[in-house]
Structure 1
């Protein structure tokens, strides 16, 4: 009996001694056996690194590319509800059979000669690359997992590299020095190939890497940007848009689009996606851009289900963005944060970033080796002086309690981890 996708995922979770083992030697060796580096995966390959904004950038770039007629593949992590979400072709999650076939080929390759041990993420990345290479789309967009320089995705030489933001996260692996983190993220850059930098402030280590490699860099705020409204032009097609994008194409020619709709995701990332598209020898067309931005959807990023808002923000930088978006809304009778965080995350700083827009907190526990229980999170919040409700053992239990106890006038934010949002989303979809 052949193994199912679930069988493979269970097997991969336990086949390597540690869950995260940064380094390219093992994954590069298996990639060579699979001939993944012998020819391009796609007509163009884009890699996206950064602390926050990677998922938003990938989602908008993928949707923009399809709106302009390109075939696409996207690889992201982690997933929310189903592993298949990680690999999409033309916006649709791939099927189990494709993933199983790819895992079988990766397994065969890693055992072809001296066996090579792979982590869950490394095996999943290689399987995604195998499936993408088979399809050979016009645009492949690969989200870097942790860091950049030593991440499995970096085994591929991309045509365009993107760095969104750089902030402190994953300190156990990347440290808490921004210059060092910048060095790791900039490790996805390639000599002589363009890069798009999606933050107005990046560590000097990124610029140093750019200069050393002779990278043609496009900086947010310098070479491309967005504004809240067009000052000297009217939206065409009669569309009442909110913002304007200005950038350059691959020849250096300036491009401007006005009257663009709010995608519900950070405009910095939308501007990055448009800049990358313009570097792919695609002229962004106003109507297609509006269609794409108005229809893009990214589960778990400011996702609204009635009066529930779900966002995977799990570090202070991301939490501050969520707070800024909520601050623009009319203040509800009460806004409650259902917060669940892993033990290695800076819960105090995340809570501080959200505190201006939160009236009460419901701490919930997360299971697993990195999990943090609801009681310890409640104690941390109470020590900071926040109004805290009795903790719940799990996000599911927290959702059940709030569903029964919260007022219809209350607004509920679910955040702190992909695990928190995934479990809460599943619970909400069954109520």
Structure 2
């Protein structure tokens, strides 16, 4: 447990006031590097002792959230006390820090931010980004919770992400694809090296995809990190004659094989479920079949192929994620349309996402996202039309897009709302229409 810092006069603030304060601490929103955040962490005592009995860190382009959610669910089903740190959040900042499945309350987060502020101002003042301060707060909360396991989700990259100030006992790379090009570039081998920056010497590295660039395994080899790769040291297969049931086989750190049959479909990528189980075995958990079945059968992750009536909400915002969504999106009932409501940030591969979704979606509603990173609906509309899609309406917000669709949806229509955490968050914050109107034709279509 980190020591509390010596008293330092700190202005009392609510959680919301702290979050507003964090936005003023650094001149840019993203500033890759560990020097500043490590100094503050040392002042807080976070690097003096392990923050939990075991730490699993998850990096990757896609699949981090679902892998973390399944690690958490399975470990808690076995009686472990688990804490998690994730980002971004959908509706409440509290979602980022969970202890034993419960979101951290405002009071705990405020205490954490007070500790960060005292450390930041102790001696020479140190500037922190919003994410860095939030990560330090989250780590402080978890370190004081006496946990068996902490699972950390990397925010951006890996090597230079604030989460990487903590040494992982087990490190996971889920997938590698292009995203955050402004910071990570477009070279997949280099992106792989950045993600693999969470690996530690002689500690297990779990590779959760069979299509990772070779640079990921090479980084593990240089560190003499025991490597466990999907399709090699661990794998999953569908079970003959049992719909939606699958078998997992993996390895203990000593090379002993372990197999679990008749696992349920968790509604999340099976590659990530298999990766979660392998990482837990390496963390020292003795898996029990019935507990794994119950955990995977009940795991929930908002915003990932989440169905609310005829609406499917997914936060996917790069082509790799969009391809997965398309592959798991059921056809609408006979006579129904598959609509797409899309809102994105302008630093994403917008054309690539549209191209991936276009194989299933012809009818679109485009929505603007606010902020300097938000892409305007008119820009999205032009890009969709350029690829042959039909844009029926451009709205100035996700909520306005929903309001328009409420007047045209039929009972057999289905809507995929996607493109950004911001898009999905806006829809989760309001009721969604089920569709009972008649479509008047294509009079509103933009050509």
TM-score (norm 1): 0.96
The 1-side partners of 2:169 and 2:62 are apart by 22
Query: Among 371, 376, 383, which residue is 2:374 paired with?
Result: 371
Query: Among 146, 149, 159, which residue is 2:169 paired with?
Result: 159
Conserved in 2, the CA contact under 8 Å of 1:49 and 1:163?
yes
The 1-side partners of 2:343 and 2:98 are apart by 28
2:95 counterpart of 1:85:
yes
CA deviation string 1:306-328 (max 9, x = no partner): 11000000000000000000157
Query: Among 420, 423, 426, which residue is 1:423 paired with?
Result: 426
SS in 1 for 2:156: coil
CA deviation string 1:139-164 (max 9, x = no partner): 00000000000000000001000000
The 1-side partners of 2:336 and 2:89 are apart by 33
SS in 1 for 2:115: helix
Query: Among 306, 317, 322, which residue is 1:319 paired with?
Result: 322
The 1-side partners of 2:110 and 2:347 are apart by 32
The 2-side partners of 1:173 and 1:275 are apart by 30
Unaligned runs of 5+ in 2: 1-10, 435-447
SS in 2 for 1:128: helix
The 1-side partners of 2:335 and 2:50 are apart by 51
The 2-side partners of 1:402 and 1:47 are apart by 40
2:157 counterpart of 1:147:
yes
> 1:204 matched to which residue of 2?
214
Equivalent residues in 2 for 1:294-309, closer than 5 Å = 294-309=297-312
Q: Which has the higher helix share?
A: 1
Name the CA shift for 1:260/1:367 in 2 (closer, same or farther; >3 Å). same
Moved more, 292-301 or 352-361: 352-361
Equivalent residues in 2 for 1:284-295, closer than 5 Å = 284-295=287-298
Conserved in 2, the CA contact under 8 Å of 1:348 and 1:380?
yes
Query: Among 55, 71, 85, which residue is 1:61 paired with?
Result: 71
Unaligned runs of 5+ in 1: none
The 1-side partners of 2:182 and 2:324 are apart by 24
SS in 1 for 2:325: helix
> 2:264 matched to which residue of 1?
261
Cα deviation for residue 105 of structure 1 reads 0.4
Query: Among 349, 357, 360, which residue is 1:357 paired with?
Result: 360
Equivalent residues in 2 for 1:68-217, closer than 5 Å = 68-217=78-227
Conserved in 2, the CA contact under 8 Å of 1:332 and 1:411?
no
The 1-side partners of 2:432 and 2:410 are apart by 19
> 2:13 matched to which residue of 1?
3
Conserved in 1, the CA contact under 8 Å of 2:399 and 2:426?
yes
Cα deviation for residue 347 of structure 1 reads 1.2
Q: Which runs of 4+ in 1 moved over 2 A?
A: 327-332, 427-431
Alignment coverage as a number of residue pairs:
424
> 2:231 matched to which residue of 1?
221
Conserved in 1, the CA contact under 8 Å of 2:385 and 2:391?
yes
The 2-side partners of 1:389 and 1:228 are apart by 41
Conserved in 2, the CA contact under 8 Å of 1:77 and 1:86?
yes
> 1:248 matched to which residue of 2?
251
The 1-side partners of 2:266 and 2:343 are apart by 27
Cα deviation for residue 251 of structure 1 reads 2.3
Name the CA shift for 1:61/1:148 in 2 (closer, same or farther; >3 Å). same
The 1-side partners of 2:215 and 2:342 are apart by 34
Conserved in 2, the CA contact under 8 Å of 1:327 and 1:357?
no
Name the CA shift for 1:350/1:25 in 2 (closer, same or farther; >3 Å). same
Name the CA shift for 1:241/1:406 in 2 (closer, same or farther; >3 Å). closer
Moved more, 124-133 or 244-253: 244-253
Cα deviation for residue 359 of structure 1 reads 2.9
> 2:386 matched to which residue of 1?
383
Cα RMSD (Å) = 1.5
The 2-side partners of 1:303 and 1:133 are apart by 32
Conserved in 2, the CA contact under 8 Å of 1:72 and 1:91?
yes
Query: Among 10, 33, 53, which residue is 2:43 paired with?
Result: 33
Moved more, 62-71 or 346-355: 346-355
Name the CA shift for 1:77/1:332 in 2 (closer, same or farther; >3 Å). farther
CA deviation string 1:354-373 (max 9, x = no partner): 11221311111001010111
